[in-house]
Structure formats: structure tokens, C-alpha cells
Amino acid sequence: MDATAATSRHVVRLGQENPRFSGPLGFISHMDGATLAILRRLSLRRLVLEKGGVREPHWHANAHELGYCATGEALVTIAANHAERESFVVEAGDMFFVPSGAMHSIENLNDGRTELILAFSHERPEDFGMKAAFDAMSDAVLGNTYDLPASAFEMLDRRTSVPKILGLTTAPLVEGQARHVNAYKYSLEATPPQITFPAGTAHTAKSALWPVLRDIAMFSVVITPRGMREPHWHPETAEMGYVLSGTGRMTILDPDGSTDTYIVGPGDAYFIPPAYPHHIENVGEDNFHVLVFFDQASPGDVGYRSLINVYPRDLVAIALGMAEDDLPHFPFTEIDPLLVPRTNPIDPIS
């Protein structure tokens, strides 16, 4: 029986989740170890910035961040090792990477709403903000740091915190170089897809194409209404997905032999532990678009289509509990196609 995302042990309806932070200038929703107990080495946040909103300068002590701009436009500014500074603009379809421990801010440049999907290389990312970092140090320590008298910081109110999303009173300042090529930015959807089949396409953000990546990667997968992601698993690699559009059905096999089959739609997020067999198919009338994150910079893949050719037919027949004469004549496949056409009628959705 097909379950909805709300009843699956592998899924969180992130688009309907109550935000962990909400204010007049935006909100942040989380899928982490607190909301989905099976998460390991990956988590997800949905950041929505209204006009004038900016995510407070902050950093993550235990996780790299990999962001995808779903709608709108934002200015990302990073302060990293040895006074390194990066500042660049991301638009819909662009990605950015922030190394663990690097302070960064995200500022909405749009007259309307900007939405970003943020993945992390830990199930419980630890956050530090600029305000808390300054509050932790005395006036004298801050004065010594900046060659100023301690009294220069006496107006710093250490009793209150700032919201996670701030509002600027001036128009955004975008330097000319912010629209140039940057090592921490990747225009994913603007490039030709690395994988193209009639059943769909995949744009890949992994270390072979984006060398700055560490411990995390992402595929932007579009499956046509007649397409399916073949059953497969990822050795040593967990998978986490966020659905941007369309309707899909997934099945996951757990080690106890039970299966979890569920329907996902826009705003739903899921997690699959390393090496758990699973598949995804489009069961709607429009394209199914999903962002698929991995906890490796270069994820591996074992597909059903190619693995069947590894063993002799008699062994495969015995393993499947079939007579060898009844075993189908599988096509020889040297390299898994990733996406395959659905030539048979769709299984009923109950």
C-alpha cells in the first residue's frame, strides 16, 4: 500500500513543517536529527527571505553547507581562513558551498521572496552567530582586538540576542565582482545536464566538476511523466532529497525485509541510509524535479540494471527462486543508465 509522506518513517513534509524560526522578514524550517531520528551525516533547511531580509552572519562548527537557490536572488558573503573573503550573487538554479567554520551571510536581493534549500554534512549542525560571538567577549577584550578603548563597546547589549533573519535599512550593496565566476558558486542549472535520457535529465554537483566540495554532493534530477529512476543503492553513501515539483513514488527496502512505499510532492524531504535499495518514479502528469543530496563529494551507485550481468544465469535464477528456463533474458548493460523509461502500466496508487 502506498503511504503519504506524512506517514512514512523516511520522510518529513518540510514545506508544511512549523518553522524553527519565523519573523516578518522570513523563516527557517528544519529537517534534522530532532525531526527525523534516522538521519546521519546529512540534514536540510528551507530558508525563505522576504524583501530586505538577510540571514545573520553565522557559521556551522561541525558541518559544511551546500545551498541551492530555488527562487529569487541572493548575495552570499563568506569570511574564511586567513582573512579570505568571498562575495557573490546566486540566482534560481545556482548553488553555493560554505566550508565548515566559515562565517557567511545570505541577503535577499529580490523585490519579492527568495527561497533557498540548504543541506548540511551533519544531522545536527551547530550554529554560531556574529552577535553571540561578540557577546561572549568583554568590552576590554574587544577593545584590545580593534585598538579601541573598552568604552567603544559599552552599548553592546549582551542581555538580548538578535533574530536569525535581520533587516537592512539601506539598499543592498552588490559589488561588480559579485556577479563574476567564483570557486564557491556553481551555476548548476545553467550548464547542460551531465546525464540526458528520454526518461529525464540530471545536473550533477560533485567534486569532479566542482573541486571545492567536501563531504557532500547534489544531483538535480528531472524525471519525465514516462520516466523512472531504476532501483539502486549507494555504497557507503546516504541520500537525502527535497522535492521541488511534481509527484513521485518511492520504495525503500529496510534490512528487516520490510518496505516503505510512499508518495512525495513539492516541499517533501526524505532520507535513505547508505546502501538501502530504493527507486523513484514519476506518477504525475508533469515533470518530477527533486534535489538529491549525498554525504560524499563523489557518490557511488549500484544499479539493478548492470548488477544482473555480474553473475551467471544459474546463480541468478537460484537467488531469485526461479527456474533458469523461466528467468527473463536481461539486456547486457555495461553502465547503468540512471533513468529508464516506464514501458509498463503504472502500478495502482492506493
How does pLDDT run along the chain (350 residues), one tens digit per residue?
577 666 788 999 999 999 999 999 999 999 999 999 999 999 999 999 999 999 999 999 999 999 999 999 999 999 989 999 999 999 999 999 999 999 999 999 999 999 999 999 999 999 999 999 999 999 999 999 999 999 999 999 998 888 999 998 887 778 888 788 899 999 999 999 999 999 999 999 999 999 999 999 999 999 999 999 999 999 999 999 999 999 999 999 999 999 999 999 999 999 999 999 999 999 999 999 999 999 999 999 999 999 999 999 999 999 999 999 999 999 998 888 889 999 999 998 77
- Residue 200 gets which letter from DSSP? E
Name residue, grid cell 523516511.
10
Q: Name the CATH superfamily for 3-186.
A: Jelly Rolls (2.60.120.10)
What distance in Å separates the CA atoms of residue 305 and residue 228, rounded to the nearest whole number? 13
Q: What is the pLDDT of residue 349?
A: 79
Q: What is the pLDDT of residue 14?
A: 95
What distance in Å separates the CA atoms of residue 320 and residue 31, rounded to the nearest whole number? 37
What distance in Å separates the CA atoms of residue 323 and residue 345, rounded to the nearest whole number? 26
What distance in Å separates the CA atoms of residue 121 and residue 258, rounded to the nearest whole number? 28
What distance in Å separates the CA atoms of residue 302 and residue 319, rounded to the nearest whole number? 18
- Residue 256 gets which letter from DSSP? T
Q: What is the pLDDT of residue 71?
A: 98
Give the cell for residue 274.
Answer: 547508505
What distance in Å separates the CA atoms of residue 184 and residue 110, rounded to the nearest whole number? 21
For 218, the enclosing helix (H) or strand (E) is strand 217-223
Q: What is the pLDDT of residue 1?
A: 53
Q: Which alpha helices (H) appear in 138-288, and where do they start and end?
A: 139-146
Question: What type of residue is 37?
Answer: A
Return the closest-CA partner of residue 174 out of 94, 58, 48, 76: 76
Domains 3-186 and 195-341 alike in fold: yes
CA 19 to chain centre: 17
Domain boundaries, the chain: 3-186, 195-341
CATH fold for the domain made of 195-341: Jelly Rolls (2.60.120)
